[in-house]
Structure 1
C-alpha cells in the first residue's frame, strides 16, 4: 500500500483555505508537492504493513497528527530503534503510540499535536476559511483586495451571494490610475479606499491594491491580496504544558520509561524560550535594590512541567520532546528534548542521537548532538511554501 497512489495529476492551483491537506497533496501536480508525496511515501513504506491502512485513514482525516506520528517513526527508526506500533498494556485498553527499543533499553513514546486552539476557535476558523475561499471568487480584473477587518457575527456559515455582488458593483466605481495616484501621495495604503459590507452574519471592509499592468484582466488570479493580521501576547508555553498534562497520566502507572513528543504548530510560533519555560519554568530576573550592587540573577519560576510550587511533578514521564515541524520545514525542524531529573524510570539519552537538556548539579545543561536533517538524511533543497 502507498500513502499516495500513482496516478496522473494535472492540478497546478494553490491550496484553498478550506482544503484538506491530504486531498490537496493527493491531487496537486506542482513539483514541490510531488516531492512531498515522494518522501512521505518513502517513510510510509517503512511503517509496518498491518498498521498502514489505519495510518492512511488518519492522514485523510487528521493530517497533522498522522504526519507527526510518521515523522517520529522515521526519526527514531533512522537512529536504530526497533518500533512496535500501539503496544498493549496489561492494566488498560488504551495503547501508547509506540514502544521503542535499542540495546536492551525500552520506552514508550506518545505523540501529541499542540495547536493552542479550542474547538470553538477551530469552528470559527473553519467558517472564516470557507468565507475566504468564497471571496476569492470575486471578479476583480484591476485590483487586489486587502481585507482591512472582518467579523463573523453569527455561528452559522455566512451566505456570500449578496456580499460578492456588492463588492463587484463597488469595484466598477474605481479607476486604476486614480488609485495609483492616491497611493503615490499617501503614506497609508489602507486609508485610501474602503469598500464596506455588513449584514446580520458578517461585517467586512476592503481596500484596493492596483494590479500590475501585466496581470490586469487575467483569469485564474485570486483577488484577495492581503489577509488581516492578528497580534498575540505571550508565547506558546502554556499551550505546550496543557498538551503535556493531557498525556502525562493517560496510561496510568507504566512499567517502562515514557517519553512524550509534542509538535507545537499553533499560530504562536514556538521557540527555544517557550519550550524551556514550559519544561523548566518561566525565566525570571531578581536584583538587589542597592544601586551600587544590583547582583542581577536569572532564575526559573516554579511553574514548569517537571516542577512547580507543589513540588516535583510527573515522575512517570521520563522525558519530553518538543518539535516545530510542518511540511515546509521537515528538513530543518527545530526541536528541544528534555530529560526529567526525577523520573521514576530513566531513559539512557545517550542512545538517542538528538541534543537534549538535563540537570547537572542544579544547573541546566545541554548536550549537543545531531540535527533532524542529519538523522532523516533529507536534501537541503527541500520545498518552499
Structure 2
C-alpha cells in the first residue's frame, strides 16, 4: 500500500506557513521530493501488510505532528530492518493491555530488544494557535504591495479568535500603498489590530521592481522563549519508561523532538546527558580571604540516577532523534544519538542500533561513542537531501 500515489505533480512553490506535512510532500514536484516519496513508500511496503493501512492513515492526518510521529516510527522500523532484524509490531508484553511499538528479533526469531518511540511536541492549545496564525500569515503573504516592497512580519499578541482576514488585508494594502518610500533606508512599521491579535508589519523597500512578487512576507520574527530541552526529554522517558512493566529483555525508548526545542550541535548532547544523568549547576564557595571557587556539579534529577542510587534500570538505552523529518540526517549538528543505561537490568547489545552517542566510563566521565550514523544505516543516497 502506498502513502504517495503515482500522479502528475506540477507544484514548484515551497511549503507554506502552517501547511500540513503530507499535503506539501504529496503535491511538490521537486526532484528531491520524488526521491523522498519513493523512499517512504518503500519503507511502508516493508511493514507487515496488516500494518500498512494504519500507517498510511496516520501519515495522511491533517496534523503534521501525527505525520512526524508516524514517520519517526517508520524510520526506526526501516533502520532495524536494514540491520537484518525481524520486527514484530505491537508485541505482547508484561502489561495486560498496553503494547510497545516493536519487538526486535534475530532472523531465527530470538528476542533481542523492545523498542518504543515517543515524541514531545506542542500542546493542543499551541497547535490550535499555530493553525489560526497560519491562516493570518498566509493571507498577509498574498496581499498586493507596491512594486519593489516586502513585509517583515511579527506577531506581537496572539489571540484565540479567527479575525476577518479580508478586512485585515485591505487595511494592510491601503497602508502599504500610502507609506511606500523610495529611500530603502526608510522602513515604515505599524501594528495592526484584528480582534485579539496584534501583528506588527514593517514595509521594506529596495527589491527589484520588475520581478513579480509571489510571497509578500520577506521575513518573520520567531518567538522568544526559554528552552528546557532536557526537561522535555526526561519527561518523555518518564512517560514511557515504566508504561509496560519490566521486560525480560532490553528495552529502548526513542525520544523525538516534534516541538523544535533542541538547538542542534553540542547542546543536543548536553541536553541528552542532563536528562538522564542530571542537570549541571555551578556551586560557588567563598573563602575567608575573599577568594571565590566554582565547581560544576550535577543535580540528582537524572532519569537514570547515580551509581549509588540508579533509577529505571528497566530502560536499557535511550535514543534522541532531534528532528522528526529525514532532511537533516547527514548534518553533523542534527545527528540522532544513543545513550546506554550504565546500570541497566538488561544491557542493550552494542550491535543493536549502533548509533553515535555518549557513555559514562569507569572514571565517571562522559566519553563519545562513534557508532554508525542513522543516514548510513538507512542507506540514504548522497548527497542528501538530493539535489533538485
Report what 2:255 is aligned to. Answer: 262
Aligned length: 371
Deviation string for 1:76-128 (max 9, x for gaps)? 2222222111112364222111111238452110001222x222222212211
Report what 2:162 is aligned to. Answer: 157
**How many Å separate the matches in 2 of 1:265 and 1:305?**
21
Residues 79, 353 of structure 1: 8 Å contact kept: no
In structure 2, the gaps of 5 or more residues are: none
TM-score normalized with structure 1 length: 0.87
Report what 1:58 is aligned to. Answer: 58
Residues 232, 268 of structure 1: 8 Å contact kept: no
Q: More deviation in 250-259 or 61-70?
A: 250-259
Residues 18, 130 of structure 2: 8 Å contact kept: no
Specify whether residues 356 and 14 from structure 1 end up closer, same or farther in structure 2 by C-alpha distance, changes over 3 A only.
Answer: closer
Q: CA deviation at 1:134?
A: 1.6
**How many Å separate the matches in 2 of 1:206 and 1:64?**
32
Instruction: Give the counterpart of 1:284 among 267, 281, 285.
Output: 281
The 3-state SS of whatever aligns with 2:336 is strand
Alpha-carbon RMSD: 2.7
Are 1:130 and 2:135 an aligned pair?
yes
Report what 1:80 is aligned to. Answer: 84
TM-score normalized with structure 2 length: 0.87
Q: CA deviation at 1:33?
A: 1.6
Deviation string for 1:159-213 (max 9, x for gaps)? 2121111111111113441x42x34xxxxxxxx3123321433222211112522
Residues 320, 339 of structure 1: 8 Å contact kept: yes
Report what 2:354 is aligned to. Answer: 353
In structure 1, the gaps of 5 or more residues are: 184-191
Aligned residue runs from structure 1 range 245-260, under 5 A: 245-260=238-253
Aligned residue runs from structure 1 range 1-385, under 5 A: 1-61=1-61, 62-89=66-93, 91-102=95-106, 104-115=110-121, 117-142=122-147, 143-153=149-159, 155-177=160-182, 179-180=183-184, 182-183=185-186, 192-210=187-205, 212-213=207-208, 215-216=210-211, 218-219=212-213, 221-270=214-263, 271-286=268-283, 289=286, 297-307=295-305, 311-325=309-323, 326-332=325-331, 333-361=334-362, 363=364, 364-383=366-385
Q: CA deviation at 1:255?
A: 3.1
**How many Å separate the matches in 2 of 1:169 and 1:309?**
67
The 3-state SS of whatever aligns with 2:330 is helix
